[in-house]
């Protein structure tokens, strides 16, 4: 069971006066607190520290945590250059990179980004799958690639990743087509369904597609992306998450939780909520901390770190202290 944290790399998660250089120390502290992975988001719409730049900074500053994207938007980058950048981060981190990818969404997080990238919105899923296939070919040393959309010859030798075959690549999304593509082509699945029952159903679909492609269910990491707020009670937690939803997405919590997994409340309620996804099959949970400002993010990191054993091995939340969770620097 792995539990990771999404670093607050976007300016929407910062207070006035926050120093983004503190994000490296934030990642180190999260690793020491017991979080097994550090993830970053990717966008051109919301100002943020660029995803691969952030992971490159974390690579020498951390030792054991998986470094991941949740999710990288490959269409924002030239595909061969992206293969080189990803291989470099994997190399610098000693093989700790995991790349979750997506094709973007309709609305402000989709078409405008494709326009800025000078790419067509149409056939975006084919382009995504071919980009990942191209990366894997480049990482293996291929000098040419021929797909329906992407075609390259004379590819020069590039940086080889730390691991043979390159870092694992996960897919976000829970549509029937995404489940099928995950089972056939990807190394992991990173959705955010609001209902654990939908997670279980989706994971079954991934496994069915994998079996049809001759793959084992164990070849695919079942992950989950979820927003979490640990507070005194549900009402207090939901109020704080509502502020976060407005700051990050410009929408109320009631709208956000209809499309994304959200867990908020007392320590016991948060543990119960996360365990419901574990029971549904999730084995790598990526948590977005529902707080604005690096100080508030650190407070939530501390509170959630105290709950990690309860989520992972069933210990009661009251038996875990904050002092256990975050050792002194």
- So what's the pLDDT on residue 317? 67
Reduce the DSSP state of residue 108 to 3 states and report it: coil
Decide if 33 contacts 301 (C-beta within 8 A).
yes
Domain ranges of the chain: 2-325
CB atoms closer than 10 angstroms to residue 47 = 11
Which pTM value belongs to this model?
0.94
Q: Which of 110, 145, 112 minimizes the C-alpha distance to 124?
A: 110
Decide if 80 contacts 152 (C-beta within 8 A).
yes
Going by their DSSP bridges, the two strands 2-6 and 97-101 should be labelled as: unpaired
| H or E element in which residue 253 lies | helix 253-256
Show pLDDT as tens, one digit a residue, over the chain (329 residues): 999 999 999 999 999 999 999 999 999 999 999 999 999 999 887 899 999 999 999 999 999 999 999 999 999 999 999 999 999 999 999 999 999 999 987 776 678 889 989 999 999 999 999 999 999 999 999 999 999 999 999 999 999 999 999 999 999 999 999 999 999 999 999 999 999 999 999 999 999 999 999 999 999 999 999 999 999 999 999 999 999 999 988 899 999 999 999 999 999 999 999 999 999 999 999 999 999 999 999 999 999 999 999 999 876 665 544 444 444 43
Report how far residue 265's alpha carbon sits from residue 16's, in angstroms, rounded to the nearest whole number: 27
Q: Which of 37, 55, 47 minimizes the C-alpha distance to 14?
A: 47
- Say which CATH topology domain 2-325 has: TIM Barrel (3.20.20)
Decide if 310 contacts 316 (C-beta within 8 A).
yes
Give whole-number Cα distances, 317 to 139, 228, 309, in Å. 44, 16, 8
Look at the block and give the residue holding tokens 């490959």: 74
Q: Which of 170, 266, 302 minimizes the C-alpha distance to 225?
A: 170
CA atoms within 13 A on the CB side of 34: 20
Buried b (16+ CB within 10 A) or exposed e, 291-309: bbbbebbbebbebbbbbbb
Give whole-number Cα distances, 115 to 26, 44, 81, 110, in Å. 34, 11, 20, 9
Length of the chain: 329
Any residues with CB less than 8 A from the CB of 34 and at least 6 apart, and which? 3, 305, 308, 325
Decide if 2 contacts 36 (C-beta within 8 A).
yes
CB atoms closer than 10 angstroms to residue 254 = 10
| Helices vs strands, H then E, count in the chain | 13, 11
């Amino acid at each position: 069971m792995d539990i990771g944290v999404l670093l607050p790399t976007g300016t929407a998660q910062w207070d006035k006066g926050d120093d983004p250089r503190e994000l490296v120390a934030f990642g180190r502290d999260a690793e020491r607190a017991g979080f097994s992975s550090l993830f970053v988001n990717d966008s051109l719409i919301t100002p943020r520290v660029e995803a691969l730049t952030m992971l490159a900074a974390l690579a020498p500053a951390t030792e054991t945590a998986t470094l991941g994207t949740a999710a990288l938007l490959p269409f924002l980058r030239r595909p061969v250059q992206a293969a080189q950048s990803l291989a470099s981060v994997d190399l610098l981190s000693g093989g700790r990179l995991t790349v979750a990818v997506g094709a973007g969404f309709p609305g402000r997080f989709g078409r405008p980004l494709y326009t800025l990238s000078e790419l067509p919105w149409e056939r975006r899923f084919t382009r995504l799958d071919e980009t990942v296939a191209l990366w894997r070919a480049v990482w293996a040393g291929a000098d040419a690639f021929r797909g329906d959309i992407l075609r390259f010859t004379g590819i020069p030798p590039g940086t080889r990743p730390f691991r043979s075959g390159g870092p694992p690549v996960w897919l976000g999304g829970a549509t029937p087509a995404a489940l099928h593509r995950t089972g056939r082509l990807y190394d992991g699945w990173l959705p955010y369904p609001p209902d654990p029952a939908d997670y279980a159903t989706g994971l079954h679909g991934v496994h069915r597609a994998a079996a049809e492609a001759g793959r084992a269910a164990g070849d695919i990491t079942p992950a989950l992306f979820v927003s979490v707020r640990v507070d005194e009670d549900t009402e207090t937690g939901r109020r704080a998450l509502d502020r976060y939803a407005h700051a990050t997405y410009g929408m109320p919590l009631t709208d956000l939780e209809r499309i994304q997994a959200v867990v908020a409340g007392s320590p016991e309620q948060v543990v119960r909520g996360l365990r419901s996804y574990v029971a549904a099959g999730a084995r790598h949970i990526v948590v977005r901390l529902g707080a604005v400002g690096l100080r508030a993010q650190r407070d939530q990191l501390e509170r959630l770190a105290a709950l990690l054993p309860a989520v992972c091995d069933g210990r009661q939340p009251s038996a875990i202290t904050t002092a256990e969770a975050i050792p002194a620097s």
